[in-house]
A and B are shown apart, each in its own frame.
Chain A
Amino acid sequence: MSEMKDVCVIGTGAAGGVWIDACTRAGLDVVALERGPHLGPSDFRQHDELSNVHRGTGFAPTWQDTTRDHAAQVAQLGRSTMLARCVGGGTAHWGSWCWRFREDDFEVLSSEGPVEGANLADWPISYAELAPFYDAAEARLGLAGQASANPSGPPRHGGYPNPPHPPRRATQLIAMGAKKLGLHPFPTPMAINSRPYQGRAACINGGMCANFGCPVHAKASTLAIHVPAALATGHLDLRPDTRVIELVTGKDGRVLAARTLDASGRENEVRARTFVLACGGIGSAQLLLSSRSARHPDGLANGSGLVGRNLMFHNFTFVFFELPEPSLAALGPAGMVAIDDLHPSDASRGFIRGAVLGESAESGPIWSAYKAPGYLGENTRAWGKPLKDYLRRYPYLDGMIAVGEDLPQLDNRIDLDPTHVDAEGFPLARITYESHPNDRALHDFFDARLHEIALAAGATKSWSFDTSHTKGGTGHIMGTCRMGNDPNESVVDRWCRSHEVPNLYIPDGGCFPTSGGYNPTLTIFANAARTAAHFLESIARKETA
């Protein structure tokens, strides 16, 4: 049994890192429990496309999950998500595209009305309430971008802290093509230093951002920014390779301790006054559902029965294309131009909500090789001479992605697999997910638009890449611990505090009521800072009272 800490943060990804930073800065003693190791640039230099893209061993060597479309199926064992298990969580290996949600993204139910089969909701907060925290997050992460270049973005004060990155050839071609179609392309806002910033190096344009750790920490992460800052205060007890297996509650209904398992298999208990569960949309739900007791037979903080439900992970639409001149896709970050004109919801298109579009460069040879069958078509065998000739086209290839809003549905969920267990004997997360008809219509619409943009960019050929089978492979995990005002309709309140367990906060991506159609993490950063600030104010009030 260890000493009593002020705050125990579980998970060191986007949300956990922000809370660790805010609490230690305020002088609280924090213990941070992180399931994965504390990696750094020297480890990242040993990673390559085989380890990180194909095998996924760079960041989560033992990850397994099970997946199925709906409850009538038996879930199959596999490895669907590409989450990172390490200090920094998903921010260690993200692509770092950084979006603010639009104002209407916070009020989807009231702006759209109910939709059959979907469980739409408004956020309990507005864009205006989050805006100052977006400002602060952009400054902390050192975003590179061009202010007010997105005509469909929400209102913002002032510019980005750093200028946009230099474009590669393909980026320029896509931008020219989009302009021909009357669209307004602009540099994708990225949390990658375009010049040295706050003690971190400038980007060296090495590519290999998403799925990789940055070898020079030019890419922002809680690993490079928040955790080191917290360590420097002397108030952080960082424990990597420490997995929390249960939250133990006392008679008063508060969390007493986190039960942990370290790398050598030793169990321990960590005590604190306040617990912050930030294991990501899958990990947090899994831990709550595993923390069963007589008082909480369906898992902790689950009186609403909503823990794990309303799972969302966006709808990725990929289109790849062949350009008449080299794309130079291997040089620089993967996506340097974005198009957002088509984002605003318009029911006359046959679906509601929208997507942000962006370049998704043909970064590595293995990833490129995956797509040979799509390029070659049904009637050409994807091996032999045709395959080799396809590989030779690599320098001319590039891609685009639409990150589409998927609607929350009650039956899309994370729960505990009844048969499969991990190496330590605990149930794997089971992912049940089926697209809503609206998601499919949205996908088809944006698939067609991406082909048009590719054509306008001069592409001689374009083809789609179907990722509909990769459940959670987007890495954007949302909805599983919904935030709301009504304890019957949500898991946490507007401050990401459990409706039922007063000393438990769950500020990670799981709190999103809807998914926004933008990569989620800047919003996770901003919302975590907002909830941490409120927590610190509330304890300051108690102290002065």
Chain B
Amino acid sequence: MSAHERDTHFSRRAFLVSTTGLWISAGLPRPLAAAAAQRDEAPSVLSPDEWSAVEAISERILPADETPGAKAAGCVNFIDKALASEDAAALPLYREALQALEHACDARWKKKFVDLDAARQDAMLEDLESGSLPDWGAPGASQQAFFGSVRMHTLLGFLADPRHGGNRDFIGWRTMGFPGPVHHLGGAQPDQMSGKRRFAPIWERTPPRPSQS
């Protein structure tokens, strides 16, 4: 689906399509950013303000409740590293949309996005998701395309292997109860598959990844 179709035929289904699709369609992917992303929490392409705004948005997409959310999992670090490499094609979308979002927050609340309370942040994001923020100042970066991208990126930062810079302390995998890459943990036995014996997840193991090369 093209960016144009995405903009004009927005619906739940289109949303699903656009968020399961890839950003790389605009350019060829770059080498894996995994190494660069390892535990490096300093911004590489986002400005400090952009970093804080993306972090705040991601925290509304996967908020802390009984368990930690996107902020604690370091999703913004994942996003920053992705925008520096594989998903570099989406950086202009982020830049333009973030600027337009700050203008919209300023117009409505006279505040920056990060300084809004959670309810107001959610109200802004709901409008962003439906493309209804007025006087949107980024014609090249549609509200829905941006929202869909941050949403998907946040999920990826929460759930991708920690070596890509997010999922800190396996927070994402713990939330889901995904035990980690089973083949890195020595594999599973039939009694574990049938549920008779528990399969210990990666965060309970020391070292967490005994057999990784």
Q: Which residues of A contact B (CB under 8 A)?
A: 42, 45-46, 48-51, 54-57, 61-62, 64, 76-79, 166-169, 172, 204-208, 215-216, 325-326, 328, 330-332, 364-366, 368-370, 373-374, 378, 381-385, 387-388, 391-392, 394-395, 423, 466, 469
Contacts and interface: CB of A to CB of B under 8 A. Distances in A.
B22 A381 contact: no
A388 B65 contact: yes
A207 B182 contact: yes
A206 B187 CA distance: 5
Nearest to B163: A48
Interface in B154-186: 155-156, 158-161, 163-164, 172-173, 175-179, 181-184, 186
B194 interface: yes
Contacts of A168: 193-195
B168 to A, nearest CB: 15
Nearest to A397: B176
B24 interface: yes
Q: Which of A61, A205, A383 has the most CB of B within 10 A?
A: A383
Given A204-B183, A469-B17, 10 more contacts: A77-B25, A168-B193, A205-B189, A206-B183, A206-B187, A328-B199, A383-B62, A384-B60, A391-B176, A395-B177
23 contacts: A45-B183, A45-B212, A49-B160, A50-B156, A55-B86, A61-B29, A78-B25, A79-B24, A208-B181, A325-B195, A332-B188, A332-B193, A365-B173, A365-B176, A370-B20, A381-B126, A381-B129, A383-B62, A383-B129, A388-B65, A388-B69, A391-B158, A469-B1
A331 B199 contact: yes
Contacts of A384: 60-63, 122
Contacts of A370: 16, 19-20
Given A61-B29, A78-B21, A388 B16 contact: no
Contacts of A62: 28-29
Contact of A206 (B29, B125, B173, B181): B181
Given A373-B16, A378-B12, A392-B177, A206 B194 contact: no
A48 B176 contact: no
A388 B17 contact: no
B73 to A, nearest CB: 11
Contacts of A172: 194
Contacts of B32: 51, 57
Contacts of B16: 370, 373-374, 466
Given A49-B160, A369-B155, A370-B19, A328 B177 contact: no
Nearest to A206: B183
Contacts, number: 166
Contacts of B62: 383-384, 387-388, 391
B15 interface: yes
A76 B195 contact: no
Contacts of B184: 45, 206
B13 interface: yes
B161 A50 contact: yes
Interface of B: 1-2, 5, 12-13, 15-17, 19-22, 24-25, 28-29, 32, 60-63, 65, 69, 86, 122, 125-126, 129, 151, 155-156, 158-161, 163-164, 172-173, 175-179, 181-184, 186-190, 192-195, 199, 212-213
A374 B19 CA distance: 13
A387 B61 contact: yes
Q: Report whether over half of chain A's contact residues are helix, strand or loop; otherwise say mixed.
A: loop
A382 B147 CA distance: 12
A208 B182 contact: yes
A491 B199 CA distance: 52
A36 to B, nearest CB: 15
B29 A366 contact: no
Nearest to A327: B195
B159 A369 contact: yes
A332 B190 CA distance: 9
Contacts of A56: 22
A166 B213 contact: no
Q: Which of A365, A370, A385, A392 has the most CB of B within 10 A?
A: A365
A369 B167 CA distance: 14
A208 B192 CA distance: 17
Given A169-B194, A383-B60, A64 B159 contact: no
B1 A328 contact: no
Contacts of A166: 190, 193-194
Given A45-B213, A383-B61, A466-B13, A394 B177 contact: yes
A171 B138 CA distance: 50
Nearest to B186: A204
A328 B86 contact: no
B193 A328 contact: yes
B164 A50 contact: yes
A398 to B, nearest CB: 13
Nearest to A214: B183
A42 B13 CA distance: 38
A388 B175 contact: yes
Contact of A167 (B86, B126, B175, B194): B194
A395 B177 CA distance: 6
Contacts of B60: 383-384
Given A204-B188, A384-B61, A388-B69, A331 B177 contact: no
Given A384-B122, A391-B176, A76 B5 contact: yes
A513 B10 CA distance: 38
B195 A330 contact: no
A391 B151 CA distance: 14
A241 B189 CA distance: 38
Given A78-B21, A328-B195, A388-B62, A383 B125 contact: yes
A388 B61 CA distance: 8
Contacts of B173: 365
A77 B65 CA distance: 40
